[in-house]
Amino acid sequence: MAREFTRVGVVGLGTMGAGIVEVFARNGVDVVAVEVSDAALERGRANLTGSTDRAVARGKLAEADRDALLGRVTFAVGLDALHSVDLVIEAVPERLDIKQRLFADLDRVCKPEAILATNTSSLSVTEIAVATTRPDQVIGMHFFNPAPVMKLVEVVRTVVTSADVVADVEALCVRLGKVDVTITDRAGFIANALLFGYLNHAIGMFEARYATREDIDAAMKLGCGLPMGPLALLDLIGLDTAYEILDTMYRRGGRDRRHSPVPLLRQMVTAGLLGRKSGRGFYTYERAGSGKLVPDELTPTAPTSTDGARAVTTVGVVGSGTLAAGLVETFTAAGYQVVPVDPAGELPRLADVDLVVEATADDLDGTKALLAGLGEVCKPGVVLATTTSALPVIDLAMASGRPADVVGLHFANPATPLVEIVRTIRTSAEATATARAVVAALGRTGVVCADRAGFIVNALLFPYLNDAVRMLEADYSTTDDIDNAMKLGCGYPTGPFELLDTVGLDVALAVQRALYRELREPGLAPAPLLEQLVTADRPFRR
């Protein structure tokens, strides 16, 4: 039978620590909330009261319940106040030396049977545990921010953590209304191991000026249904925190370059550009601690986005499949005169159109031949757009004989409002502006990116999915727990394995192969398990 936790301690009352205090107190558990100084304690008290007051204002918490919640919390300076608690959770800065010293002190102060838990998101729980004389009673309880809202807790056991301790903490998570996933001690656990490789990749895109910060974030929100774009999320997490997590994962996780912090991240941290907490990160905020954006030197001005666009009234759509039919309907509904043609023999009908959109199968030789034919029959100045999701747009552009007129228009998914506008090194500013104007006229959101495998969405999404397959392949966790970790811990609409089965493993493998061929990054090589499942024609779930 699981032990009863009647009194717990929380050390460190920043945003996360105060949130953990609130979680316990909301669920009827008495809490001793500890900080290192009176000033820090008052800041922690303000964090807690501010959160509960906001919950009352939003109708999420009754005033009487708030008062009862706060009445369960005892604030104290110094660890000696924790002498009689049943469990302690620390939420101090993410530095191994700090946590080891703290656990050595907790080992001295706390009663012998007390469980000592760390909220670390990336450090080794084992290395923290060995600073005590009771490593079998040390465990990871990784809450997610904001702790009162996010349902996931990663329960991290070491090789010496007692089975009874694991069972007791799992039962406690249920009592707190949380969903736990129990895993072994590995860099990044589940959620951060998958999340931060993706975030790091997004920083690299921005650093390389592959796309603007706004377009990168819009692409992932609209193309994948994520609650926040990666750069906005990094500002929320804190760039210093992100750097520490990535650096720890890189050093502990086999030195995978995908987790090696992008140089721009270190530079921004050094410069004090830490995100919302400092008032400036990838974006600029009204003040330190605010989430309200204010314009800065990188903020785009809408009137210039379609300057120089060519007039378009007639659109030719080349293709006979589902995408082509959908585009005919979309352009017609937007008021364009549409000329649908079959690529086999009807190209001369496009002699007088203002824009051509090809929506044929992704076959390099066949599409190059098609673009060559369009280059011959279309009048000068016509923008030639390809909907390819996998082919290099520059190859198609050069085949056309008029590369300045060629642009990619990747309709990421018929159900989403996103269109990726792909410019090559030969695409003219007029062609890009025309594509922007047309996408806007369709009621879609256009994001502009350079011509690279995967564009924005697939280049960020599929390596994350591949990392999830590698995690499963290593027998670190199950498909259900990995999916739950990303949905409940990161707010993703679907888990990676649910998404893989929806997209199709063959499609995922093809995209991942294309990314690997272009970048030759070892971490982007398709997971062997993914290759095997495609060969065996097996999904992750039946």
Asked if 259 is an active-site residue, the reply is no
Q: What is the C-alpha to C-alpha distance for residues 324 and 312, in angstroms, rounded to an integer?
A: 19
pLDDT of 306 reads 66
Catalytic residue among 142, 201, 259, 410: 142
Q: Which residues of the chain have pLDDT under 70?
A: 302-306, 413-415, 541-542
pLDDT at 541: 66
CA distance 200 to 136: 35
CA gap 461, 219 in Å, rounded = 11
Distance CA 37, CA 41 (A): 6
pLDDT of residue 414: 63
Identify the three-state secondary structure at position 182: strand
Kindly state the greatest CA–CA separation across the chain: 86
User: Is 400 among the residues known to form the active site?
Assistant: no
Residue 380 and residue 384: Cα distance in Å, rounded?
11
Contact 541, 501 (CB under 8 A): yes
pLDDT at 390: 87
Q: How far apart are the first and last CA of the chain?
A: 36
Which of these is catalytic: 47, 119, 121, 400?
Answer: 121
Phi, psi angles (nearest 5°) of residue 37: -150, 165
Q: Give the C-alpha separation, 295 to 60, whole Å.
A: 33
Model pLDDT, residue 302: 64
| DSSP per-residue letters across 482-496 | HHHHHHHHH--SS-H
Query: C-alpha angle 380/365/386, rounded to 5°?
Result: 45
* β-pair partners for 10: 33, 89
- 498 part of the active site: no
pLDDT of residue 301: 76
For residue 504, the tally of other CB atoms under 10 A from its CB is: 12
What token pair was written down for 267?
């530079």
- Any residues with CB less than 8 A from the CB of 138 and at least 6 apart, and which? 103, 115, 116, 117, 118, 125, 128, 129, 132, 158, 161
Whether residue 154 lies in the annotated active site: yes
Given the residues 51, 119, 192, 278, the one annotated as active site? 192
At 166 the pLDDT is 97
> Are 196 and 469 spatial neighbours (Cβ–Cβ below 8 Å)?
no
